[in-house]
Chain A
């Protein structure tokens, strides 16, 4: 296992389009997190899964955002009807307790 993998690394999309990102966590980790980070800021919590259950969702996450983790393995984050304000780095992390292991992120640019 080589750590947390995120795809794609970069995504450029037109405003109004839908995008989907994928995260493959460390296989033995049951906790998976999505964060969003903009330039000069720390990562902001979006949502959290324990196995396949989505246990918490930030108020930052509008109804255009949805995340899934079928079968408690990989996770997807979908943004519908993208807006320019959605441009950011989207980070996935997994944990089995202790510190998080982050992926390299997906950088989204909405034009």
Chain B
């Protein structure tokens, strides 16, 4: 069956360090992979999209990699700040309807 796995344990890191979150998937051939941020009681906010033929995408302090051989994406936040504390969701998009399937998310806590 199709599965999207993100580390369910919270990730605690010191302010200023680089946070790295992992997304692994099985039985998918996604055309795109997306990352979202979600704060408590709010809807997810779109951060980055990477296509299957792209290896890496950057946006300000964010970097995403996409390895279709390993079936894995890594999401990096450099120079992390307490304001980056949130849950980060990985999402895969496949099929003709642009339907996105989400992982369970990883909670990031940046400690001042």
Contact = CB atoms under 8 A, between A and B. Distances in A.
B104 interface: yes
A35 B44 CA distance: 11
A91 B97 contact: no
B75 to A, nearest CB: 14
A42 B46 contact: no
Chain B interface, DSSP helix/strand/loop, else mixed:
strand
Interface string A81-111: 0000000000101010111111111010000
Nearest to B45: A102
A95 B105 CA distance: 21
A99 B50 CA distance: 10
B99 to A, nearest CB: 6
Given A42-B89, A99-B34, A91 B43 contact: yes
Interface residues of A, number: 27
Interface range, B side: 20 to 34
Contacts, number: 59
Chain A interface, DSSP helix/strand/loop, else mixed:
strand
B101 A45 contact: yes
Given A42-B91, A105-B42, 8 more contacts: A4-B43, A33-B100, A42-B89, A55-B97, A93-B43, A98-B46, A99-B34, A100-B44
Interface of A: 4, 31, 33, 35, 40-45, 48, 50, 55-56, 91, 93, 95, 97-105, 107
Nearest 7 A/B pairs, CB to CB: A99-B46, A102-B43, A42-B102, A42-B104, A43-B102, A102-B44, A91-B43
Interface of B: 4, 8, 34, 36, 41-47, 49, 89, 91, 97-105
